[in-house]
Amino acid sequence: MAKLRASIIGAAGYTGGESLRLLLGHPEVTVSQITSQSRRGQPAHAAHPNLRRRCDLTFTAREDLEECDILFLCLPHGEAAGTIDRYLGLAPLVIDLSADFRLRDPDAYARWYGHAHPRPDLLGGFIYGLPELHREQLRGASRISGTGCLATTAILGLAPLVASGLVAADPIVLEAKVGSSAGGVTPGSDSHHPERSGALRSFAPFGHRHTGELLQELPPVAGQALKIHFSATAVEAVRGVLVTAHLFLREDIETRRLWQLYRQAYGAEPFIRLVAERQGLYRYPEPKILSGSNFCDIGFAHDREGGRVVVMAALDNLMKGAAGNAVQCMNLALGWPETSGLEFLGLHP
């Protein structure tokens, strides 16, 4: 059976490069075109040297893109929405990795992004691409939105607890630490090496845009409104997200009950690993060992005296937080094994 043709718009960026790397190794896909306005005419390895001798494609202009079977949009936030009609006409399956179609409510979009959405009629037409929450909706889907890396980490870490009714709806307090690649490939003052090196910089004590995704996805899981307090900090690492969340229990319960909740929720999930070691260096989730993998590792510490659960969740922001998650959604949409092309286990040390 012939492989399906996939193309990537914005393939010179970090999420575009990871999407390309994954699709090159996918058993059901062949990559037909890659676009970059700034690198057109250059070979793929000019932007992604890790793909040298693995990919012979050349970057083209997006205006020259031909029809294909699967289209990955890896454009900066805000760019896809204005020209989305053309992209939707190029492929029966479109996966947008930007933030343009993550939120279903136009008012919520305006609140978190500071301006009205240019195509509010299309909001809600894209499935929020988190398989662990929307697996059945993703099967056979034609329009899929990627998810924010910080939001993905937080949602996966918190969902089983908020669904249980065992924790208070207010407050839920989260702190996310994230590596520099989450800022994208375009250099800026915040990514300039003398400014970034050695930094532990709070860049969103409150009001981070991914809060909108948490408020969209978690209350339906909980069956009630939630009061979410979310902060974000930049760290020196290149890849990785670590979310630490504080949830307060309504009553005293045994720790084994908490593990039961997580095992019931995630025991059959191919890319969720529960970290339950009692001792050792890796007794809690650690982003470093997830680099290049599509796993999200989740663990917690039960503070019975304080009546709280401290949840920790970690992933690679370019993989389970972006390109890997998108490929997982593609697999679901097309009826392929969910793990196809995503078998890499990460590195240690």
- Is residue 37 within 8 A of residue 61, CB to CB? The reply is yes
| 3-class secondary-structure state, position 18 | helix
| Amino acid letter for position 7 | S
CB neighbours of 12 closer than 8 A, spacing ≥ 6? 34, 36, 38, 39, 47, 48, 59, 185
- How far, in whole angstroms, is CA 296 from its chain's centroid? 10
Query: Dihedral of the CA atoms 314, 318, 319, 322 (nearest 10)?
Result: 100
Distance of alpha carbon 107 from alpha carbon 27, whole angstroms: 41
The tokens describing 297, both together, are 């590792």
If we measure between CA atoms, which residue out of 344, 166, 138 comes closest to residue 250? 166
Q: Which of 55, 68, 74, 149 is catalytic?
A: 149
Distance of alpha carbon 196 from alpha carbon 203, whole angstroms: 12
Q: 145 forms bridges with which residues in the sheet?
A: 96, 128
* Residue 149 is a catalytic residue: yes
- Is residue 146 within 8 A of residue 325, CB to CB? The reply is yes
C-alpha distance across the termini of the chain, in Å: 40
If we measure between CA atoms, which residue out of 108, 117, 166 comes closest to residue 311? 166
Q: Which residues are catalytic?
A: 149
